[in-house]
Chain A
Amino acid sequence: MPADAPSGAEPPSAGASIWKSTMSQADRIADNNVLRGEWRQLGRLALESVGTGLFVSLVLALAVFVISFEARAAGSDDPGQGTLLLRDEGGGRTAAPLLSTEVHMDVSGMVARVQVSQRFANPTALWREGVYVFPLPDKAAVDHLTMHIGERVIEGQIKERAEARRTYEAAKAEGRKTTLVEQERPNMFTTSVANIGPNEEIVVALEYEETLRYGEGAFRLRFPLAITPRYIPGAAIAAPSEGSGWSPPTTQVPDADRITPPFVPSREEFVNPVTISIDLNAGFPLAKVASTYHDVDVEERPGNRYRVTLADGRVPAARDFELMFVPDVGTAPGAALFTETKGGKTYALLMALPPTAPEVSAAHLPREITYIIDTSGSMEGVSIAQARDALAMALERLQAGDRFNVIEFNSTSTPLFSAPMPVDAATLARAKQFVGALRARGGTEMLPALKIALAGQPESSMVRQVVFLTDGAVGNEDEILRLLHDKLGDRRLFTIGIGPSPNTFFLTKAAQFGRGTFTFIGDVREVRQKMTALFRKLESPALTNIAVDWPGGVDAWPRLVPDLYAGEPVVVTAQFPAGTLQGNVLISGTRAGGAWQSLLPINGGATEAGVSVLWARAKIDALMDAGRQGAPEQDIRNAVLDVALTHHLVSKYTSLVAVDVTPTKPAGVDTLKSALPGHVPEGLTGFDQLPRTATPAALAMLVGLLLMFAAALLAYFNRNRRANAPQGI
């Protein structure tokens, strides 16, 4: 009897029986009513199944959640989603200090003053030290440091490098908050911040001065945001190591431990979100203001002023930023002079644009051109694709009468031909096949490849050019520059920087040593435009033997002005004894046999703060070059120290250090040191492309078992119900 139905019977079906019994009582109800009833039952069934389904899913979801939560809890002491865990010396894992960066640029005329504020926040209950290795433009003159602790601001002092380090270590040991900024390479710096208290934050604000780059009719200002992990050649040496990099010092790169910061993939949540804002005052009307690789909002203000901000607000520090602006036709001056008087001296920055060369001469000079292409692991991803495209275009451009060769290098060097070959259909076909098959992997042994390219006679009757496509991600820059200086002969070296964040210091320096130019290709869409511009330079004569004659008593840098190609200006800085800012400066040079000269009066220059710093930075740069070319290190060091300490500049031999007055860390408490990682540049896949290494098999099987168990339960109850249903009906 239904009344005896077990209490386990499904209540909804009991509800259905109410309806049925009502039907039985009203015996003569029309058939369509019955039909409607069936439909209603069907509807109810649908609802019930959906309900049951939802219930089962909820239970399963809960089960999965509980299980996975337990798995996570068992697997790590993860303090929360999105927190980066660092392995410490004891083998434990601690949340890394959180870092974010704000960049503000004031661009005035040809000069940019940039403030970089790095915010270090400590989310843990420990006392922390953060060490962050980061990139800056290769010509940046870092001259100011402040450490912000809440409302308090502590000024940084310039000191000789070892002394600055001692000051920092002493302050750290005494429990004071302290910051140290050191230069590892002209475009790579390290900020160390010690004694960040539990749940405290410290803001480190650096400032630098820089000259804008002009070429191809546009001004460009780069701000590098990532470091492509450097290749470290040489055998490991057991040297006392204070750096926290992933590479030990080696015979070829004795400071490798300082220039190999840890890195994380760029697709991860930002480890260092960056905001950028720019106040631009060019001083003349502009036709275009744009950013090359990031979306920006450009707001025009009265008086040819612009405000540029990132459209996305915060971006990952994963690819270089570049601001580009084009003067209105005819409004850009052919020459510009900026001056500053400081410490009894007057400093000047002079920019002069030689008239553009006549278009490529009809008579094509036969050339011998060697392409060197970097196929190391750091090029894997977007970079190798850009390099292949660029090289394919370059091959198209070769003409009968030219000779050429292609050299590929990674851990080993592979030349296409043993010596440069004449251009013909057969050699071109072989070259195209060779280039098409290039894949990126392995190390970056640059020296052997350059030795092959620079073998043979130092002089030749042909125009000889070497085009070098690379991201420059090596640690032994100076060693390679020395080789270029010694072996180049009459060849010219043109570098093409490939990828989202190439080593611009190495690439511009190599081009300077090679009397060529540096072309930057940051995106595969730029290949055609940038390569076309480079071909113009390769095929038109350069302005050489450039001399800048100043009045007597003037100390001008650089002393040797590099050769110029179409559309490039002469940029020089000078120091005048007090009150002698007068007279004329004569700039002269030769191009394709003809002479060019220009006489500029030294007056009417706009006053611009920071010109003195640019002069000091140019002088340091020239001194360091002399060192790379073989001048004794001790002489160079003394000369650099003199300039850097006077002008408050960070250099290879000087650092900025800021120390809080009173100790805040309790005595006897340790400070935990963490090396903060940077992003691998966006699009590079040769580094951390570690796939997911667990299958969902166990999870699938568990869910499957649970579902089957649910089915079995249901079957059991159904059987019970049927057993208890009225028999014989």
Chain B
Amino acid sequence: MGTVAADRGGSFGRSGHESRNWMRASPPGIAFRCRPAESSPIGSDARARRERATRFRRARFLAAILLLAGAGLACFGGGLYIHAKAGLAQVLLHAAWAKTQDSGLPAKPWPWADMHPVARLIAPAQDADLLVLSGASGRTLAFGPGHLSGSAIPGDPGNSVITAHRDTHFRFLQRLAAGDTLMVEGRNGARRHFHVLRTYVADYRALNIPRDTLQPTLTLVTCYPFDAINPGGPLRYVVVAEAT
């Protein structure tokens, strides 16, 4: 055992030594390369050329910095935009929902929208008030939780499956626990209360959400873990709530 440890220590030390040598070797190299410039005679022509070269060099740096900063801003902005869109859409959707309830006809949140709100989902203790949209495509989810077409309408008998992004609308799911209350408001304004039965994490390929239940049931699904950076990943966080 002792020998092995010593061997390891030795090799570690050697590599450290090498890297120190390399560090020491660098500065003289640069100094050498700079030397010819120092010894050059300075004429007025040469000065103009040098000035031009300096400007050129500065422009080059500026361009590189601007490019990097621009790309960074664009990326960062893109991320912010996702959150802004998610937030703003809900504001517009709430307005459309009020209109829908007044007139009894489905109102579009914005003129070119290809979906409409089907229900309002409220988690009083978690301070979440969301409008659920028809269809659960990636495009819909940018604006709000999506109702899986083919599953029951929220509040109707059967299992209603609603999905949303873990980092926007369904972030509050992590604060839901068994026994918590959820409310669903239908188009007619009637509210139905649900209580959370359980929450669990599962591989989405092994996720079996019952199609039909006797009690009106809500199944809320989002990605897991909540704080992962990578948007892929096979795990899903599932909240099951039943009508009270």
Mark A residues whose CB is within 8 Å of B: 1-3, 5, 7, 9, 11, 13-18, 20-25, 27, 34, 41, 45, 48-49, 52, 56, 67-68, 71-72, 74-76, 78, 84-87, 91, 93, 96, 229, 231-232, 235-236, 246-247, 262-265, 268, 271, 377-378, 380, 411, 439-443, 677, 685-712, 714-715, 718, 722, 725, 729
B5-13, B109-117, B177-185, B202-210: which lies at the interface: B202-210
Say whether A17 contacts B205, CB under 8 Å.
no
Q: How many angstroms between the C-alpha atoms of A232 and B213 in the bound complex? A: 9
- Mask, B67-81, CB within 8 Å of A = 1, is 111011111111110
How distant is A578 from chain B, measured CB to nearest CB, in Å? 53
New contact pairs (5) apart from A87-B202, A246-B210, CB-CB < 8 Å? A20-B50, A271-B205, A690-B204, A704-B78, A715-B65
Given the contacts A67-B229, A701-B75, A689 and B148 also touching, CB distance less than 8 Å:
yes
Among B60, B163, B206, the most chain A Cβ lie within 10 Å of the Cβ of: B206
Given the contacts A27-B45, A701-B76, A246 and B208 also touching, CB distance less than 8 Å:
yes
Given the contacts A443-B158, A700-B76, A377 and B211 also touching, CB distance less than 8 Å:
yes
- A5 — nearest CB in chain B belongs to which residue? B34
Say whether A71 contacts B225, CB under 8 Å.
yes
Say whether B229 contacts A377, CB under 8 Å.
no
Q: How many angstroms between the C-alpha atoms of A60 and B57 in the bound complex? A: 25
- Chain A to chain B contacts (Cβ below 8 Å), 11 pairs: A7-B30, A21-B36, A45-B60, A48-B60, A235-B214, A262-B208, A690-B161, A692-B138, A693-B163, A709-B72, A710-B68
Say whether B57 contacts A441, CB under 8 Å.
no
Q: How many angstroms between the C-alpha atoms of A232 and B158 in the bound complex? A: 12
Task: Kindly list chain A residues whose C-beta atoms are within 8 Å of the C-beta of B200.
Answer: 87, 91
Q: How many angstroms between the C-alpha atoms of A715 and B68 in the bound complex? A: 10
Among A78, A265, A677, A715, the most chain B Cβ lie within 10 Å of the Cβ of: A715
How distant is A144 from chain B, measured CB to nearest CB, in Å? 32
In chain B, residues 211-228, which have Cβ atoms closer than 8 Å to a Cβ of chain A?
Answer: 211-212, 214, 221-225, 228
Say whether A703 contacts B61, CB under 8 Å.
no
Given the contacts A74-B228, A695-B165, A18 and B33 also touching, CB distance less than 8 Å:
yes
Say whether B68 contacts A380, CB under 8 Å.
no
How distant is B53 from chain A, measured CB to nearest CB, in Å? 6
Among A7, A692, A694, the most chain B Cβ lie within 10 Å of the Cβ of: A694
How distant is B160 from chain A, measured CB to nearest CB, in Å? 10
* B37 interface contact, C-beta 8 A: yes
* B193 interface contact, C-beta 8 A: no
Task: Kindly list chain A residues whose C-beta atoms are within 8 Å of the C-beta of B208.
Answer: 246, 262-263, 677
B43, B65, B211, B235: the one contacting A714 at CB < 8 Å is B65
* B38 interface contact, C-beta 8 A: yes
Say whether B231 contacts A689, CB under 8 Å.
no
Given the contacts A701-B76, A711-B72, A691 and B141 also touching, CB distance less than 8 Å:
yes
Say whether B228 contacts A71, CB under 8 Å.
yes
Say whether A700 contacts B79, CB under 8 Å.
yes
Given the contacts A691-B146, A693-B164, A708-B69, A85 and B82 also touching, CB distance less than 8 Å:
no
Q: How many angstroms between the C-alpha atoms of A480 and B232 in the bound complex? A: 44
Q: How many angstroms between the C-alpha atoms of A722 and B57 in the bound complex? A: 10
Say whether B40 contacts A705, CB under 8 Å.
no
Given the contacts A699-B229, A710-B68, A3 and B31 also touching, CB distance less than 8 Å:
yes
Mark B residues whose CB is within 8 Å of A: 26-27, 29-31, 33-43, 45-47, 49-51, 53-54, 56-58, 60-69, 71-80, 82-83, 136-138, 141-142, 146, 148-152, 157-158, 161, 163-168, 170, 200, 202-208, 210-212, 214, 221-225, 228-236
The 5 A-B pairs with the shortest beta carbon distances in the complex, nearest first, are A704-B76, A707-B72, A704-B75, A701-B79, A708-B72
Q: How many angstroms between the C-alpha atoms of A11 and B46 in the bound complex? A: 21
A11, A677, A695: the one contacting B231 at CB < 8 Å is A695
Q: How many angstroms between the C-alpha atoms of A86 and B201 in the bound complex? A: 11
Say whether B37 contacts A20, CB under 8 Å.
yes
A67, A695, A702: the one contacting B167 at CB < 8 Å is A695
Say whether A701 contacts B80, CB under 8 Å.
yes
Say whether B37 contacts A707, CB under 8 Å.
no
Given the contacts A52-B64, A695-B231, A14 and B34 also touching, CB distance less than 8 Å:
yes
Q: How many angstroms between the C-alpha atoms of A223 and B114 in the bound complex? A: 41
- B40 — nearest CB in chain A belongs to which residue? A21
Say whether B136 contacts A698, CB under 8 Å.
no
Say whether A14 contacts B230, CB under 8 Å.
no
How distant is A284 from chain B, measured CB to nearest CB, in Å? 46
Say whether B30 contacts A78, CB under 8 Å.
no
Q: How many angstroms between the C-alpha atoms of A19 and B207 in the bound complex? A: 67
Say whether B230 contacts A67, CB under 8 Å.
yes
A25, A45, A704: the one contacting B72 at CB < 8 Å is A704
Given the contacts A27-B43, A377-B151, A707-B71, A2 and B231 also touching, CB distance less than 8 Å:
no
Task: Kindly list chain B residues whose C-beta atoms are within 8 Å of the C-beta of A708.
Answer: 68-69, 72-73, 76
Given the contacts A87-B202, A411-B158, A17 and B34 also touching, CB distance less than 8 Å:
yes
How distant is B162 from chain A, measured CB to nearest CB, in Å? 10
- A440 — nearest CB in chain B belongs to which residue? B150
Q: How many angstroms between the C-alpha atoms of A677 and B82 in the bound complex? A: 35
Say whether B212 contacts A2, CB under 8 Å.
no
How distant is B168 from chain A, measured CB to nearest CB, in Å? 6
Q: How many angstroms between the C-alpha atoms of A703 and B35 in the bound complex? A: 40
Say whether B49 contacts A16, CB under 8 Å.
no
- A34 — nearest CB in chain B belongs to which residue? B49
- A411 — nearest CB in chain B belongs to which residue? B158
Q: How many angstroms between the C-alpha atoms of A694 and B237 in the bound complex? A: 11
Task: Kindly list chain A residues whose C-beta atoms are within 8 Å of the C-beta of B39.
Answer: 21
Q: How many angstroms between the C-alpha atoms of A156 and B77 in the bound complex? A: 66
Task: Kindly list chain A residues whose C-beta atoms are within 8 Å of the C-beta of B228.
Answer: 68, 71-72, 74-75, 694
Q: How many angstroms between the C-alpha atoms of A25 and B39 in the bound complex? A: 10
Say whether B47 contacts A729, CB under 8 Å.
yes
Say whether A704 contacts B136, CB under 8 Å.
no
Q: How many angstroms between the C-alpha atoms of A263 and B26 in the bound complex? A: 61
Q: How many angstroms between the C-alpha atoms of A689 and B26 in the bound complex? A: 58
A75, A443, A690: the one contacting B136 at CB < 8 Å is A690
Say whether A68 contacts B170, CB under 8 Å.
no
Task: Kindly list chain A residues whose C-beta atoms are within 8 Å of the C-beta of B232.
Answer: 68, 692, 694
Say whether A718 contacts B76, CB under 8 Å.
no
Say whether A85 contacts B203, CB under 8 Å.
yes
Task: Kindly list chain B residues whose C-beta atoms are within 8 Å of the C-beta of A441.
Answer: 149-152
Say whether B33 contacts A86, CB under 8 Å.
no
Q: How many angstroms between the C-alpha atoms of A23 and B38 in the bound complex? A: 13
Task: Kindly list chain B residues whose C-beta atoms are within 8 Å of the C-beta of A704.
Answer: 71-79
Task: Kindly list chain A residues whose C-beta atoms are within 8 Å of the C-beta of B36.
Answer: 17-18, 21-22
B38, B69, B152: the one contacting A3 at CB < 8 Å is B38
Say whether A7 contacts B229, CB under 8 Å.
no
Given the contacts A41-B56, A441-B151, A84 and B203 also touching, CB distance less than 8 Å:
yes
B38, B83, B137, B205: the one contacting A677 at CB < 8 Å is B205
How distant is A702 from chain B, measured CB to nearest CB, in Å? 6
B34, B63, B75, B206: the one contacting A700 at CB < 8 Å is B75
Say whether B205 contacts A84, CB under 8 Å.
yes
- A65 — nearest CB in chain B belongs to which residue? B230
Task: Kindly list chain B residues whose C-beta atoms are within 8 Å of the C-beta of A5.
Answer: 30, 34
B53, B71, B229: the one contacting A20 at CB < 8 Å is B53
